[in-house]
């Protein structure tokens, strides 16, 4: 058994970003050094060999990583910094005390008990805006995962080998425009029941004040206004619902995903078959990658892969804007040494 453990704590300072300046200066922004970001986490690698014979061997390797990336300071006079402008619905931000690149977007109003506020004229939810709320943008998610875990199994027998790699990502938030469009346009079994009418759980509220409407006894009034499936996911009815016609928060999902990352089967060709040739070794292998995944916290029939990201390896994470779906890949490899 082999155990490798790493704990780290890193502080990054004097990073560069565009800071907004008064337009009276003749400019809109100036690049300046700003703030402080901390990274604290652990990396653990454990290797176990349950069997280690001459002809048959079995090795299991697990790797666990956890990282907390927190903004601790910004430049004086700046409370919040836009990391990268994406859409009016959602963008990543930097703010002291918050995770790096956390997502801000629109939210639905609730009362003090957490009940959704429903517009009595439409049966839809009431979105926070400048008129009925102190802010029209809120923290809607942290795109950084809680942790990642990878497990590989390698079995070898008389020149044959097989490696199976499985990984698990826990948590992290992702805003998906793709799910919004698929659900909203009714092309998935998730909203196949189109004859039923629906009531959004909540209490009636005033869209102008953002406060619940009370009856003569001072009690909130439960929502009983029914909506069609079309109104619930697509049609703008004058109030917020879900999918296309909704606040940002309802299109943010937990990005937990289980994945069969790769399977590789190989064979080391015996030297006796090419002993008269100037070849040192020869092996052949076939592999399949991204063969299966399960994202339990996204709509079942959308088949959404939370690992899809519209911005690649940039600092903008957790935002998907109708990206191409992930694909399975198969390959064959011949390796020859001389």
Mean of the per-residue pLDDT values for the chain? 90
Between 1-5, 17-21, 258-262, the lowest mean confidence (pLDDT) is in: 17-21
Q: Is the pLDDT of residue 97 over 90?
A: yes
Q: Is the pLDDT of residue 332 over 80?
A: yes
Alpha-carbon gap, residue 292 to 210, rounded angstroms? 45
Do the Cβ atoms of 212 and 229 come closer than 8 Å? Answer: no
Q: Is the pLDDT of residue 122 over 70?
A: yes
Residue range(s) defining the domain that contains residue 80: 38-337
SS3 (DSSP) at 251: helix
Alpha-carbon gap, residue 92 to 85, rounded angstroms? 7
Answer yes or no: is 19 within a domain: no
Q: Note the pLDDT of residue 271.
A: 83
Answer yes or no: is 75 within a domain: yes
Answer yes or no: is 27 within a domain: no
Within 8 A by CB and 6+ apart from 82, the residues are: 91, 92, 93, 94
Structure token pair of residue 321: 């804007």
Answer yes or no: is 33 within a domain: no
Tell me the pLDDT band of 238, cut-offs 50, 70 and 90: low
pLDDT in tens, 271-298: 888 777 888 888 999 999 999 999 999 9
Answer yes or no: is 107 within a domain: yes
SS3 (DSSP) at 201: coil
Do the Cβ atoms of 335 and 283 come closer than 8 Å? Answer: yes
Q: Please give the residue that has the higher pLDDT: either 88 or 49.
A: 49
Alpha-carbon gap, residue 109 to 132, rounded angstroms? 9
Cα 18 to its chain centre, rounded Å, is 26
Q: What is the mean pLDDT of residues 202-217?
A: 95
Tell me the pLDDT band of 318, cut-offs 50, 70 and 90: very high
Alpha-carbon gap, residue 231 to 12, rounded angstroms? 48
Do the Cβ atoms of 47 and 1 come closer than 8 Å? Answer: yes
Tell me the pLDDT band of 84, cut-offs 50, 70 and 90: confident
pLDDT in tens, 25-69: 888 878 888 789 999 999 999 999 988 877 899 999 999 999 999
Alpha-carbon gap, residue 212 to 285, rounded angstroms? 65
Alpha-carbon gap, residue 171 to 162, rounded angstroms? 30
Answer yes or no: is 304 within a domain: yes
pLDDT in tens, 252-275: 999 999 999 999 999 998 888 877
Answer yes or no: is 101 within a domain: yes
Total domain count for the chain?
1
Answer yes or no: is 130 within a domain: yes
Q: Is the pLDDT of residue 20 over 70?
A: yes
Q: Is the pLDDT of residue 333 over 90?
A: yes
Q: Note the pLDDT of residue 227.
A: 92
Do the Cβ atoms of 117 and 125 come closer than 8 Å? Answer: yes
Site of tokens 């690992």: 307
């Amino acid at each position: 058994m082999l155990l490798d453990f790493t704990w780290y704590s890193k502080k990054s300072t004097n990073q560069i970003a565009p800071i907004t300046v008064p337009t009276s200066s003749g400019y809109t922004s100036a690049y300046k050094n700003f703030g402080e970001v901390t990274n604290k986490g652990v990396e653990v690698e454990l290797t176990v060999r349950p069997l280690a014979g001459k002809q048959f061997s079995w090795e299991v390797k697990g790797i666990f990583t956890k990282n907390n990336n927190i903004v601790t300071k910004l430049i004086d006079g700046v409370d919040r910094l836009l990391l990268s402008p994406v859409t009016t619905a959602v963008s990543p931000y930097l703010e002291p005390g918050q995770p790096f690149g956390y997502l801000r977007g629109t939210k639905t109003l609730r009362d003090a008990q957490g009940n959704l506020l429903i517009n009595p004229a439409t049966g839809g939810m009431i979105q926070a805006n400048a008129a009925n709320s102190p802010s029209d943008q809120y923290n809607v998610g942290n795109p950084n995962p809680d942790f990642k875990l990878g497990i590989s199994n390698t079995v070898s027998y008389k020149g044959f080998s097989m490696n199976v790699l499985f990984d698990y990502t826990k948590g992290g938030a992702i805003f998906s425009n793709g799910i919004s469009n698929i659900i909203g346009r009714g092309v998935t079994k998730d909203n196949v029941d189109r004859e039923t009418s629906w009531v959004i759980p909540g209490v009636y509220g005033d869209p102008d004040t953002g406060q619940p409407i009370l009856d003569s006894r001072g009690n909130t009034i439960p929502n009983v206004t029914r909506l069609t499936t079309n109104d619930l996911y697509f049609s703008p009815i004058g109030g917020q619902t879900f999918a296309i016609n909704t606040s940002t928060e309802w299109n943010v999902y937990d990005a937990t995903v289980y994945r069969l990352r790769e399977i590789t089967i190989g064979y080391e060709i015996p030297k006796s078959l090419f002993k008269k040739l100037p070849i040192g070794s020869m092996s052949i292998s076939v592999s399949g990658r991204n063969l299966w995944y399960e994202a339990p916290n996204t709509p079942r029939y959308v088949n959404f892969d939370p690992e899809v990201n519209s911005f690649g390896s940039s600092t903008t994470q957790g935002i998907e804007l109708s990206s191409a779906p992930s694909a399975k890949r198969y390959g064959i490899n011949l390796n020859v040494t001389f």
